[in-house]
Amino acid sequence: MAIKKNKMKVKNICCIGAGYVGGPTMAVIALKCPHLNVTVVDNNSERIKAWNGPLDSLPVYEPGLPEVVSKARSRNLFFSSDIKGSIEKSEMIFMAVNTPTKTEGDGAGMGADLRYIEACAKDIAKYSNSNKIVIEKSTVPIRTAEKIKEILDQNEKALNFEILSNPEFLAEGTAVNDMFNPDRVLIGGSETKSGQKAVNALVEIYANWVSKEKILTTNVWSSELSKLASNAMLAQRISSINSLSALCEKTGANIDELSKAIGMDHRIGLYFLKASVGFGGSCFQKDILNLVYLCKYYGLDEVAEYWHQVVKINNYQKNRFAQKIIDHFGGDLKGKTIGILGWAFKANTNDTRESAAIDVAEKLYNSGATLEIYDPMVKPETIINDIKDYWSIKIYENDKKIKINQTPNFAEKIDGFAVLTEWEEFKNLQLDLSKVFDGRNIFERSLYSIGKNTNDNDCK
Ligand code: UDX
Ligand code: UDX
């Protein structure tokens, strides 16, 4: 779609949602656009307090983020609980609130719960006194913009709202770098004159540091669906390689060698072909289930089933990994202590949403194991809350069979370690932590090659 030359003056930007996406994205926009005032608001005042607090305890751990926040916060980046005032004064409003999987009603367990997006739209309609550009940053099902527009158009002040889709493609752990050097920035807008004006206004913001060839403009629906499709394609590669890891273990082929051999074909490429204990994170499972739901809604049952299989293989892989540990010890883990190394869903983040560690640990615990858990970045209370919230069995306070270590010094006798997050500090664990790990069973996801215990039963 051609970008027409229509200028719209933007001076104040607001983002609703100061989470993993809203915080880092806005911090980088503020850093790269000193001429703009960027305010991030959230209905969680504790979170806002933390964003305004010491740099070593920001609510989101991301390499490079404290430096960006430090520079921008002293100049044009503000974190605030004043949702009304920030909406009023901004010409452009990003929505970066969470869109979890629905737990009840139509589409429960699959479709996206849009209640927070709808709440944002209602706030925008209520507090706006001038025309606004409203941007979907959260991942949403295709045609959500229509729903947002309906809510906004109910405002009593005859204001005009342009809705754009500008999905985030940043990955946690590399979010700052992904924002600095994106593969592409995608902006979807309507093809009307005012739609194109709004698209241009957002293009001009990104153009402060991203070359225009990398800024792709499309219609709103293509943009919304591209986000779901990108995540589905990435996750599909992981499930494909993980499914092959099961075959490798039966046949004597090595999954790391297989990944390399496959990935060196430039048509396939090396990325996202690392076998693992299963993908986690707030996006992949949620977005694929959302895609499955959409396909079903449109009567595309075969397409829905194809994508559903990506999630099913992921569950199979988590289960298989835990089962291999159990089998290694003869069928149950009564009297065994397993060290869980890593709780975050990937390295370089403190985010544990949908982490494979949660499911693997539950299965080991249910098989009788005592667990000693350690993650370099995740707070003990987060681990406890995950166990309480996501395990299907009820855990009592002070359960002696679950111990959370704040350092990698495991006090108890450990019969085996399950490496569940690819933290750099675990990479050479047999070398660096030889006192702790020497001679034990190490069950690892093969996201990297750590000093290996060559036991045939190791899970790779
Ligand atoms: C969210 C979505 O989950 C994801 O689909 C999307 O791609 C980007 O936005 P994330 O930033 O990781 O991802 O979510 P989270 O860290 O939970 O942050 C959302 C924030 O919105 C929270 O701080 C929450 O307090 C805030 N929020 C939520 C509001 O301010 N108002 C609301 O009505 C709801
Ligand atoms: C993902 C997308 O990459 C990003 O573009 C989107 O905006 C949000 O969702 P994120 O979930 O933060 O980002 O991390 P990502 O690096 O994609 O990893 C997701 C999961 O897949 C992690 O659990 C990771 O360990 C796992 N993974 C990744 C593998 O198991 N194997 C791989 O080869 C790569």
Q: If you write DSSP's letter for every residue of 183-233 in order, what string do you get?
A: S-EEEE--SSHHHHHHHHHHHHHHTTTS-GGGEEEE-HHHHHHHHHHHHHH
Report how far residue 224's alpha carbon sits from residue 138's, in angstroms, rounded to the nearest whole number: 10
Q: Is any ligand 1 atom within 6 A of the Cβ of residue 138? A: yes
pLDDT of residue 453 exceeding 60, the answer is: no
pLDDT tens for 193-224 read 999 999 999 999 999 999 999 999 999 999 99
Confidence of residue 440 (pLDDT cuts 50, 70, 90): low
**Active-site pick, 15, 248, 283, 295:** 283
Burial class (CB in 10 A: 0-12, 13-18, 19+), 264: exposed
Range 293-317 average pLDDT = 97
pLDDT of residue 439 exceeding 70, the answer is: no
Query: Tokens standing for 20?
Result: 């993993």
Q: Which ligand is nearest to the CA of 19?
A: 1
Report how far residue 81's alpha carbon sits from residue 46's, in angstroms, rounded to the nearest whole number: 10
pLDDT of residue 433 exceeding 60, the answer is: no
Burial class (CB in 10 A: 0-12, 13-18, 19+), 216: middle
In angstroms, what is the span from residue 129 Cα to ligand 2's centroid? Answer: 40
Inter-residue contact 49 to 89 (CB < 8 Å): no
Query: Tokens standing for 83?
Result: 């949702």
pLDDT of residue 136 exceeding 80, the answer is: yes
Burial class (CB in 10 A: 0-12, 13-18, 19+), 290: buried
Instruction: Give the pTM.
Output: 0.90
Confidence of residue 371 (pLDDT cuts 50, 70, 90): very high
Q: Which ligand is nearest to the CA of 79?
A: 1
Query: What confidence score (pLDDT) does residue 446 get?
Result: 52
* Phi/psi at 317 (5° precision): -70, -40
User: What percent of the chain has pLDDT above 70?
Assistant: 91
pLDDT tens for 8-61 read 789 999 999 999 999 999 999 999 999 999 999 999 999 999 999 999 999 999
Range 287-314 average pLDDT = 96
Lowest mean pLDDT among 43-47, 179-183, 434-438: 434-438
Query: What confidence score (pLDDT) does residue 32 get?
Result: 98
Query: Tokens standing for 314?
Result: 């992921």
In angstroms, what is the span from residue 419 Cα to ligand 2's centroid? Answer: 17
Report how far residue 439's alpha carbon sits from residue 454's, in angstroms, rounded to the nearest whole number: 11
Q: Is any ligand 2 atom within 6 A of the Cβ of residue 286? A: no
Report how far residue 157's alpha carbon sits from residue 126's, in angstroms, rounded to the nearest whole number: 9
Nearest CA to ligand 1 atom 26: 17
Query: What confidence score (pLDDT) does residue 460 get?
Result: 35
Whether residue 459 lies in the annotated active site = no
Query: What confidence score (pLDDT) does residue 456 get?
Result: 35
In angstroms, what is the span from residue 40 Cα to ligand 1's centroid? Answer: 12
Category of 173 on φ-ψ map: left (φ > 0), alpha (ψ -120 to 50) or beta: left
pLDDT tens for 244-275 read 999 998 998 999 899 999 999 999 999 999 99
Query: What confidence score (pLDDT) does residue 434 get?
Result: 54
Residues 6+ apart with CB under 8 A from 106: none
Q: In the beta sheet, which residues pair with residue 187?
A: 217
Return the closest-CA partner of residue 212 out of 182, 250, 188, 245.
182
In angstroms, what is the span from residue 134 Cα to ligand 1's centroid? Answer: 16
Query: What confidence score (pLDDT) does residue 436 get?
Result: 55
Query: What confidence score (pLDDT) does residue 105 get?
Result: 85
